[in-house]
Structure 1
Amino acid sequence: MEKTFSHRRLEIVEQRPMIGEFKNRWPALFQQSEDSAAEDAERDIKVMGIYTIRRDGNEKPEDVGIVIEGIKVLNNFGSVIMGFIMLFGLIYALDLSFPDNLKYTFEFFQKIIMNLDGHKLNTKIQQLKIKLFA
């Protein structure tokens, strides 16, 4: 990194390139981070999760992907909803357990929203169903 910086600095001082040319040659220098958001998500998600990358305040995400056990398994979904559906499918296909901190969320979607195995509800989900449909 130190060597790269000194080469950039030497180029600036000696050649004095135009900003457009310099930006084309060293685009990462003009970004807040050097496109490592997906790698950060991959590193930070230990069990499983969905990551989104948004740039410049755009409503539509640049990338939506799934990380399981710290490994990016799927990406380039158009929306978080599609990512969630694919994550749900992977949980079933790979016979994974729901993450402990999201157990009731996944169970709610499975049993109430998707009506899969909906007759076997635990107490928390049953109370929520009663409140929703009362």
Structure 2
Amino acid sequence: MELKQLTLAMFVIRKEGEGLKESPEDVGIVIEGVEVLHDLTSVASACALLLGLIYALNLAYPKPLRFTFEVFQKIFMQLDQHKMSPKVQNLFGRLQTSQ
């Protein structure tokens, strides 16, 4: 898929034949088809920076991924936990009881 077609995305580039244990060659973020960050240290830092960019630029989550981003924001990053959608609240409850 071309970058121009992406609304909001993270990308990971690996050398051919390398496994998941090796560090990626590049990790970056694309917003509205434009590569806004690259050469990030890890996928985890890219997730945190992506959430920061969404907040700073006041962007809406893409509809197909809104619950995924809500889980990142409210469960993993623990931001605005008191405003969870019922679907995410249900997942959070199940995660709490499985510990």
Supply the distance in 2 between the matched residues of 1:97 and 1:122 (Cα, whole angstroms): 15
Aligned-pair identity in percent equals 47
> Structure with the greater relative contact order (CA < 8 A, sep ≥ 6): 1 or 2?
2
- TM-score, with structure 1 as normaliser: 0.65
The aligned residue for residue 106 of structure 1 is 69
Q: Kindly indicate whether the alpha-carbon contact (under 8 Å) linking 2:27 and 2:46 is maintained by their aligned counterparts in 1.
A: yes
Alignment gaps of 5+ in structure 2: none
Answer whether contact 1:54 1:61 (CA < 8 A) is retained.
Answer: yes
Q: Would you identify which runs of 4 or more consecutive aligned residues in structure 1 move more than 6 Å? A: none
Q: Which residue of 2 aligns with 1:28?
A: none
Unaligned segments of structure 1, at least 5 residues: 1-39
Q: Deviations over 1:40-93 (max 9, x none)?
A: 65234x201001111132232101111101011110012111111111110011
| CA contact 1:67–1:74 (8 Å) conserved in 2 | yes
* Greater radius of gyration (CA): 1
Task: Considering fraction of residues, name the structure with more strand.
Answer: 2
The alignment of Structure 1 onto Structure 2 pairs a total of residues equal to 94
User: Using the alignment, how far apart are the partners of 2:78 and 2:46 within structure 1?
Assistant: 20
Asked if 2 retains the 8 angstrom alpha-carbon contact of 1:66 and 1:75, the reply is yes
| Among candidates 96, 100, 108, match of residue 59 of structure 2 | 96
Q: Is the Cα–Cα contact under 8 Å of residues 10 and 46 in structure 2 kept in the other structure?
A: yes
- Counterparts of 2:15 and 2:64 in 1: how far apart (Å)? 28
Query: Which position in structure 1 is the counterpart of 2:11?
Result: 51
More helix by share: 1
- TM value normalised by structure 2: 0.85
